[in-house]
Amino acid sequence: MLKRIPFQKGFRIGGLFGIIVLSVSFLSCGEKAGAEHSRAPLAAALAAADTVINPPDTAAVVEVAPGPVRFTVIGVGDMMLGTNYPSASYLPPNGGRNMLADVRDILASADITFGNLEGTILDEGGTPKRCNNPSACYVFRSPEDYVQHFADAGFDFLSIANNHSGDFGATGRQRTKAVLKEAGIAFAGLAGTDEYAIVERNGVKYGMCAFAPNSGTCSIHNLSKASEIVSKLEEECDIVIVSFHGGAEGASHQNVPRRSETYYGENRGDVYKFSHAVVDAGADIVFGHGPHVTRAMELYKGRLICYSLGNFCTYGRFNLRGPAGIAPIVAVTVDREGAFQEGQITPVYQEKTHGPKIDSQRRAVNTLIELTRADFPETELLITKEGKLTIRK
């Protein structure tokens, strides 16, 4: 829109004033005839001054095409903010309020934020599971008010399909679900009862389902059932997010072997075959976790698969040495159909005394570049040193 120039209006008033003053001066001299003679040009001048001639608008109308509709989903790995079992000494200071403080703004910036909840949320009670091998088996129970830390960080979905969701039996699972519902956080991953969840944000429907090799969870081994759940979500939702807890653990298992993995005598699933099967069924984003270390990424049929997002925020009882102490925050941008557009990795690290902090060494980014190049040389996914995710051209 063109703005009127202020001085144009001032010019019209000034010109008119000059003409009137001139006319009055003639009259004051008693030159009646001259004054009468001057009325004709005066009237003409007044008429001319009141006539505004606007030049025709010759500017062509420019139509700007609307920008693409895009949505950002953030995914992180394993989370256990502290446990009051077997002792309250395993809880962080300040009621755990500082655990996510350094990354809270990043997590809350997405349209949807996802993470894996390791353990249960209840103040007391429940039946702790029995561990045959205490050196490789832990039991987690976080205080109920800790759920607010997840809510404050903007989490929309949490997976409860893992080997710790049953740490305190039926009581633990029931109370965990109740507390999450009260906080407005959706969850999924329990066979027969909570196999999937759907939330709507700004008119867009997001569906999530979660799988694991553990008792009571939606099975990572049953590809037919997994595909059925995903297909149902694909019909009802705009964007479908799939989570899995699978694969062998530790620094010696950072590569994706494209076969079933066994760890401590347990079949942890074929995460490669599973991920491809759920994308075939309609999944748009696949977030893996369970190995407690970062694993490679790939693009399959234009959908992003993250094979392990590592330990994200795991206080007190987790091994955080070496690669177990670094992890990515992965922000994925997709279109309305769920197809990958771009992404951004924020590398973080944690130590025994604090939660995730931004890693200036960018170790998780470097690890992802190396592992993705080694495990999926054929992928179209390009990861830059700055952590940018793009499609290779």
For the chain, list the domains and their CATH numbers: 70-391 (3.60.21.10)
Q: Quickly list DSSP for 33-98.
A: HHHHHHHHHHHHHHHHHT---PPP--PPPPPPPPPPPEEEEEEEEEEE----SS-GGGSPGGGGTT
Handedness of CA 148, 149, 153, 154 (dihedral sign): negative
| Single-letter code of the amino acid located at 289 | H
Which residues are within 8 A (CB) of 252 and not within 5 positions of it... i.e. 6 or more apart?
Answer: none
Q: Quickly list DSSP for 261-307.
A: -EETTEE---HHHHHHHHHHHT-SEEEEE-SSSB--EEEETTEEEES
pLDDT of 289 over the 50 cut? yes
Share of the chain above pLDDT 70, in %: 82
Residue 259 sits at the vertex; the CA angle it makes with 254 and 265, to the nearest 5 degrees, is: 80
Q: How many CB atoms lie within 10 A of CB 7?
A: 9
User: Backbone dihedral region of 50: left (phi > 0), alpha (psi from -120 to 50 degrees) or beta?
Assistant: alpha
Taking only the tens place, the pLDDT of each residue in 15-38 is 433 433 334 343 344 444 444 444
Q: Distance from CA of residue 284 to its chain's centroid?
A: 14
How far apart are alpha carbons 364 and 59 in whole angstroms? 53
Q: Name the β-bridge partners of 303.
A: 300
Which residue would you say has higher pLDDT here, 7 or 229? 229
pLDDT of 4 over the 80 cut? no
Taking only the tens place, the pLDDT of each residue in 136-176 is 679 999 999 999 999 999 999 999 999 999 999 999 999 99
Q: Distance from CA of residue 335 to its chain's centroid?
A: 14
Taking only the tens place, the pLDDT of each residue in 236-288 is 999 999 999 999 999 999 999 999 999 989 999 999 999 999 999 999 999 99
How far apart are alpha carbons 276 and 260 in whole angstroms? 14
Query: What is the arithmetic mean of pLDDT over 84-112?
Result: 97
Give the per-residue pLDDT at 65. Answer: 64
Which residues are within 8 A (CB) of 45 and not within 5 positions of it... i.e. 6 or more apart?
Answer: 15, 16, 19
Burial of 3 (0-12, 13-18, 19+ CB in 10 A): exposed
Give the per-residue pLDDT at 152. Answer: 98
Q: How many CB atoms lie within 10 A of CB 132?
A: 7
Question: CA of 294: how far to CAs of 75, 80, 120, 266, 330, in Å?
Answer: 13, 17, 23, 21, 12
Give the per-residue pLDDT at 49. Answer: 46
Query: What is the arithmetic mean of pLDDT over 126-131?
Result: 90
Question: Residue 340 — very low, low, confident or very high, per pLDDT cuts 50/70/90?
Answer: very high
Which residue would you say has higher pLDDT here, 177 or 138? 177
pTM: 0.83
Give the per-residue pLDDT at 217. Answer: 98
Share of the chain above pLDDT 90, in %: 79
Burial of 126 (0-12, 13-18, 19+ CB in 10 A): buried
Question: Residue 88 — very low, low, confident or very high, per pLDDT cuts 50/70/90?
Answer: very high
Query: What is the arithmetic mean of pLDDT over 109-125?
Result: 97
Mean of per-residue pLDDT scores for the chain? 88
> 189, 159 in Cβ contact below 8 A?
yes
> 183, 175 in Cβ contact below 8 A?
no
Taking only the tens place, the pLDDT of each residue in 38-58 is 445 444 444 444 555 555 555
Q: Distance from CA of residue 292 to its chain's centroid?
A: 21
Q: SS3 letters for 141-160?
A: EECHHHHHHHHHCCCCEEEC
